[in-house]
Every structure is written in structure tokens, then in C-alpha cells.
Structure 1
Amino acid sequence: MKVAVLGAGGKMGSTVAQTVIAQPDLKLVAVVDPRLSGIEFEHATGVSGSGLSISGDISEIVRSGADVVVDFTTAASAFENLKYCASHGISAVVGTTGLDQTKMDELDRAFIDADRGCIVAANFAIGAILMMRFAEIAAGFFETAEVLEMHHETKIDAPSGTAIATARRIASAKLVGGSSFLPDSTENSLFEGARGADVDGVRVHSMRIRGAIAHQEVVFGTMGQSLSIRHDSYDRSSFMPGLIIAIRGIQSVRGVMAGIDRLIDDRLSIRSERGE
């Protein structure tokens, strides 16, 4: 399968490219980043083995014959990039957060019309995905819940996409069970933001700490007990196994699919049938 990377000059983009190069069944055919146009990819990123120069033009993904594009740019850029991919019949895997529901719906129609797939995931770390799943299971048994996320100091959005997704999923799981979390009884916040952001009734707190990568803890409480479910990514390589699952599984997707939970479930089902 031929893979192109958009945002290839960034930390995540270059890690993606390096990971793709190492896969025997994948071939890196294009690296695109307008900021570094014309520079040899190895010289710009230190990643060897591609033999490619960075292009500043998204049309390079078409010229290269890419089957799938991996996008780690910004939300504004990703939306236009994905429309371009759909219009040219190229599937996409996206690690960029910040696409609102209106844009997601528009992209879903575009990829369905193109008979192609697009996976949009807030987090590709398999541990993070399992953390969200475990939190959904726990939600029905506790009366209060809050999410604490910590990322590196250069992250520009808050809360993180993973934190927002987690809060929404546990709030929804609670409602499906016929109840909701207890309301916040705080009446007097001495400083603005002291209780964090309210995401569907779940408080979310964001920290930006130098030296951190991506960390999240979901804390549940009920009478006489609490439960903490935590995931830590210490290196960007933690996102790569899930990303490779998404790239290899994209051919089974039509339209836009949020997250890679279904692909992980498929793998678990196969292993269960084999008795592994």
C-alpha cells in the first residue's frame, strides 16, 4: 500500500514517515509540508530511507499514486486536505483534532461519494483507546467523574481531543444507563477556570508541562471509594502501532469513522476465534 504524509516535517509527521518506511507491506511515496518545500526529507527530519524530497504542493499525493494519506497538520488545513483527498479518490487517516460535527458530516458525505474511507482519531495510542473504553464501562457505577489531561507546553489546543472524547463518551455511557453524574456543587470559584471546562457535564482539566508528551487520568468517585484510570504516552512512538492498524484497515472503511475502536474490536474477535 502506498502512503503519503501531510505535515511530514513536524514531529508527529516525521515519526509517521519513519514508521511507514519500516513496514514491509507499506511504501512511503510522498511527504508534503509547505514550510519545508524542496528540502530533502532526510536532511530536514533526520529520517533516512525514503529517498524523497519534501513537496509543498498537496497535488504530490496524486502524482505519487498514494492509496492513503496520513494527515498530522492543523484542523483548518486538515479539512481542506481531506476534501482534496476525497475528490481525488484517496483514503485518509487523520490524527488532527478540532474538526466540528458540521465538517465531519461534510467529509463523511464526500468520502462516501468517493467510495473511500477516512479515519479521524483523537488518539492512536492503543492504551489510550483502552483507557477510554474502560472509563465507559466504569461510568455506570460511579456518581462523579473528572478528566485530567497533561501535554507538552507547545500544544496549542485545550482541552485535548482525547479528553473531550473521553468526557463525552463517559457522559453518554452514564445516560444510556439511565442516570447522569452529580452536578458540580461549587458556588464560588475564587479564580476563573478553577473547576476546569464543562464537557457534557464532566469537568475536564488541562495541564501544559514541559517534558510531557500525552497523559490522561479519569477519576471516578462514589460513596467510600474512588477509581482512577490513567494512560501515559512517554514517546510519540506510542501512537504508531494504532496508526499502522488504521492504515492497514482503511480499505474496510467507507465514509468517515471516528477512532479505531472498531478495527481493534475486529482484531480481538479474530484472536478470540483462534483461541489466542
Structure 2
Amino acid sequence: MKKVLIAGAAGAMGQKAVALVNSMPETKLTAVLAPHLTADQREQFGLDPDVQIYHQLEQIDAGVADIWLDFTVPAAVYPNVKYAIEHGMAPVVGTTGLTDEQEAELVAASKQHHLGGLIAPNFGMSAVLLMKFAKEAAQYFPDVEIIEMHHADKKDAPSGTALSTAKLIDQVRPTHETNPDEVSTLDQVRGGDYHGIKIHSVRLPGYIAHEQVLFGGAGEALTIRQDSFDRQSFMSGVKVALDKVLSLNELVIGLENIL
């Protein structure tokens, strides 16, 4: 039986994760990290009486879990995952906001501790396929921009999925020149810039998670788009990660790398 701790169990994604873990016959939810969740809210948040509730990292008991499932916030994810690795818990991370340097440090720490794990910018299969298809298309369409649209409460921009898409595109697209005469009359109107790839972030009520990759060529255009209308769509990818994470020997970046 795999023992799982969920960090951020009281949040929207955390609650989906609680239901998922409770439904899996070979996993057991043994603990949660939720700063504001109280013992009398157990039933409301789907927690059995024997699930440990922790409010701070320092309170967590040794050996309470084999897997650390993180759906928290960008400010907390790095210290959370670092703590998990140092205390022998294989991290499965759906929280975005980690820098390249932080990811590299966590991968190095996982190797040092001989511990597997997964950081996934997106657990939705449509998003994973969008990134795969965009990388393929970028070899033929080097002129590309990315638009990502998320709910108004999302704390980081651009999204981890959009940034990962840009990184994958950057690996393969041919060198080309941008318009040297372009003039912007409004600051940042052209969006963020990742190695010449423009990324535009939209934050509006009513949205969940959506991304478009727009490619332009001589006399033609290609648009690849994915839409996540319900957070439940991410749980199929989380289940794959929970099934496979203990067989990994280091921290892996991207769900597509364990499918």
C-alpha cells in the first residue's frame, strides 16, 4: 500500500486529488499539509479519521508517507519539494512557478537521495499532446506565439504549460529573424519573451486552463489549441504519476517522459 501525503489538500486541485487517492485501491491517504484546515473539517474535505493534518512542514512526522503530492502555490512549492526529497518522500508536483535553477537543484537533490519524482506543468493529456505537437510543428514554422488563458485566481504568469511549450519549441525551431522595425506604443503589449517566442497570459473568471500555439508561414497559418473545462481532467495524469513514481530513480520533468 502506497502512503500519500497531499500538500494543498484544501484547494480546488487538492480536493480532486483527495478523491482520487481515496478511490485507488493500492494507495492510502495518510496525511495532508493544509495551513488552515482544522480537525472538525475532516468530513467536509474528504479526510478519514486517521489522516494526519499538518499546518507546517516542521510538524510532519518521519515515515508518514511514501509519496508527496503537491498542489499548493508557487511561493511554497520549492521548499515543499526540497523537504519531501530530503525526508524520503517521492514528489509528484502539479504546482507551477519553479524556476529552471530550482528545478535543476531539485533534480540534483533527488539523485543524491536516490529518489524518484515527477514535476508536471500539466497533468491533462490534451496539454501534453499540445506540447508534443507544437514541438513537431516548430521545425517547419519557426514564427510562433503562445496564448494561455486561465482562471482569474491563478497566481503565476505565464503558466507552467505555456513556458514548457516555449522551451520545447526553442529546442527545435530554426534560427530566424524577427521584424527589426516593430514599434510598441504600449509597454509589454507584445507579451513576455522566451528566446524570441512571445507568450501572452490571459486571466479571466469563467476560464479553467486553455492554451493556443499560433504558427505563421508564407500564405498559411497553423493553430494548435487545448482546453481543460474541468479540473477532473487532470486526474488521469495524476493517477499515472502515482502509479509510476516509486519506480523512478530520479526527479523527472514532464508527464510525457513517463507515459
Q: 2:226 corresponds to which residue? A: 231
Equivalent positions of 1:138-177 (< 5 A) are 138-174=137-173
Q: 1:38 corresponds to which residue? A: 39
RMSD between superposed Cα atoms in Å: 1.9
Matched residue of 1:42: which SS? coil
Matched residue of 1:69: which SS? strand
- Per-residue CA deviations over 1:34-77 (Å, capped at 9, x if unaligned) read 1224343332x3x3667646321436654563110101112332
Cα distance in structure 2, aligned partners of 1:50 and 1:141: 56
Q: Tell me which stretches of 4 or more aligned residues in structure 1 moved more than 6 Å.
A: none
Partner letter of residue 141 of structure 1? Y
Q: 1:199 corresponds to which residue? A: 194
> CA shift at 1:78, angstroms?
1.7
Query: Among 245, 254, 258, which residue is 1:259 paired with?
Result: 254
> CA shift at 1:101, angstroms?
2.4
Is this contact kept in 2: 1:151–1:212, CA < 8 A? Answer: yes
Partner letter of residue 5 of structure 2? A
- Structure 2 unaligned blocks of 5 or more: none
> CA shift at 1:254, angstroms?
2.2
- Per-residue CA deviations over 1:110-152 (Å, capped at 9, x if unaligned) read 2222211121111111110010000000001113111010000
Equivalent positions of 1:100-139 (< 5 A) are 100-139=99-138
Once structures 1 and 2 are overlaid, which stretch shifts more, 83-92 or 33-42? 33-42
TM-score (norm 2): 0.92
Q: Pick the structure with more helix per residue.
A: 1
Cα distance in structure 2, aligned partners of 1:241 and 1:18: 12
Cα distance in structure 2, aligned partners of 1:186 and 1:206: 24
Matched residue of 2:64: which SS? coil
TM-score (norm 1): 0.87
Number of positions where the alignment pairs a residue of Structure 1 with one of Structure 2: 258
Cα distance in structure 1, aligned partners of 2:179 and 2:237: 35
CA 1:39/1:154 → structure 2, altered by over 3 Å: closer, same or farther? Answer: same
Q: 1:247 corresponds to which residue? A: 242
Identity %: 38
Matched residue of 1:172: which SS? helix
